Structure 1
Amino acid sequence: MILGLYVTQGWAEMDGNGNYWPAQPPGLPPAFYPTPADPLVSPDFAGWWRRSFALVRRIWKPALTLQAILVVPMAALLIPSQLMLAEQQENLQEAAVARPGDIAPLADALTVGFASLGMTFAVLLISTVATSITARMVVRAATGQPVGLKAAAASALRRVHAVIGWQIVGLLLAGLSVLACVLPVIYVAAVIAILPVVATLERGTGVGRCFALFNADLGTSVSRVATILGLNIGASLALGVVSVALEIIVGGTAGNVAGSVLNALYYLPAGVILPPLLVTAYADMRARREPFSTAYLAPAPAPTPQQT
């Protein structure tokens, strides 16, 4: 059964642009028009927020199970990475005092830095795959299907090559935008925030599709994505403060390990809450660009005996 009608408060039969809903061309089956009861498409920010957390309540158990499984390899990458960086920083400071002008320690630091960057990149890819699987859980919940980890993973992993490939392209684009100053970086980061969802749910599309959806209605897109990024940044800053406090209080290797474990554990709640926000943001962007409702994401009906 699709999510209840309580998510429709404040709809007032209008879309996010002030047009009466549904503002869609004729000829589609009625189920393909977004209605006030649509569990993904919202007319305004409040509706988006309600729908997102209604979906969080539907998927949190299998999503948390997924994150608990993946937090182990993430921690196995994050902890050595942080320890390597901390040790190299100490070595670099000692070498700068003992042997001023010697560039050999700097070369070692760069080597360790690139190794740590590679580990962090691997963690990001694992997180991207987790987001893809959780996005499938969200779609299954919205379309009235059973929400289970096995079924969602089986569906998402068929698209994992595209999700990872496009995520790498998006990261390279974000890296190149650094050369063009701060504002382009912020814009590109906002656009590619929905990239894992786009690559999971749409075949043959990627970064270009993200730009098209984001630019269709900037007010809608910016409000959703800015909220998601703001939540993520705020939580990361709070986590950073706690991690630094742990390193100061505990000190040494134990403090670094405690901070790294805390960083890995952050993915548990983030992996449950953020994907529903991203999927519903994607749905709102798409509905403002083209005919779209949750019905488009429903599985095709099985063929009848007469059709086989």
Structure 2
Amino acid sequence: MGKEAVTRLTLAGILSGGHVLLEDAPGTGKTMLARALAVSLGLSFTRVQFTPDLLPGDVTGVSVYRPATGTFEFVRGPVFTGVLLADEINRATPRTQSALLEAMGEGQVTESGITHRLPAPFVVIATQNPVEHEGTYRLPEAQLDRFTLRLSVGYPSVEEEVRMLGRLQGEHPIAALRAVSGPAELLAAQAAARGVHVSADLRRYVSSLAARTRAHPQVTLGGGPRASLALQSVAQALAWMDGRAFVTPDDVQLAAPGVLAHRLSLGIEARMGGVGGEQVVREVLAAEPVPVESGAGGAASPVGRS
């Protein structure tokens, strides 16, 4: 209710072929957003509650010995689905968190030397509480880098919350949701988004933004090539959702905070001073010249296209 911006960015992350991390306080609708998108996209949905005693095999699957045949059989875990909701992912140990690395990065699971392909499309939507909350583990940098976007849902306004209370008096709204697409349609949409034109100037703009995060004085580890690829792909998805065949600087700037901020490791002085990754990204966006092509009204348009 009233969260169009975060919903749009989450959908853009899915259309880019990536994964999304929703970080916020409990009870803000993170799980509901993941469930609603899974139902609307017509994808199979599995929820895993991450807890300190969760083991890697509980997520990816395990090999089970069958006495009748004298062989081991791989029993697939909940990761073999369309949308995997990794609920409260930072309550599990780092070992279990890392079990998702191969699945998110390669779309496969390797167990006992045998590789098992995941279904396509495959999307991880993870939720986590802020790290200062009790019982949480900080996600390692390698795990964070696998998430295309990190977004915050936020609290609703009073008016939005009043509307929400009214809608929840009867049947839960998610029970009335119907799929508007299916796996084949989503794969086609992802392919179409990848085909959106990105000019040479905008590719340099994307790379320069990532490079500025690496050179920022308060950053010890900035965005790498995967960050640049994610920023371009989310910008393409946003353009495609708007019905455009080309990316504009506005698409890049809209995607940048969610794509870059969680990939930045800040120095101790910055953390003690309350500086966050979002603030650094805002400074980077303000400092980097925006590519502009002369045109009607001075609007940015695809450089090099007729």
TM-score, normalised with respect to structure 1:
0.27
Which one has a larger percent strand, Structure 1 or Structure 2? 2
Ranked by relative contact order (alpha carbons within 8 Å, sequence separation 6 or more), the top structure is: 1
Q: Could you say which structure has the larger radius of gyration?
A: 1
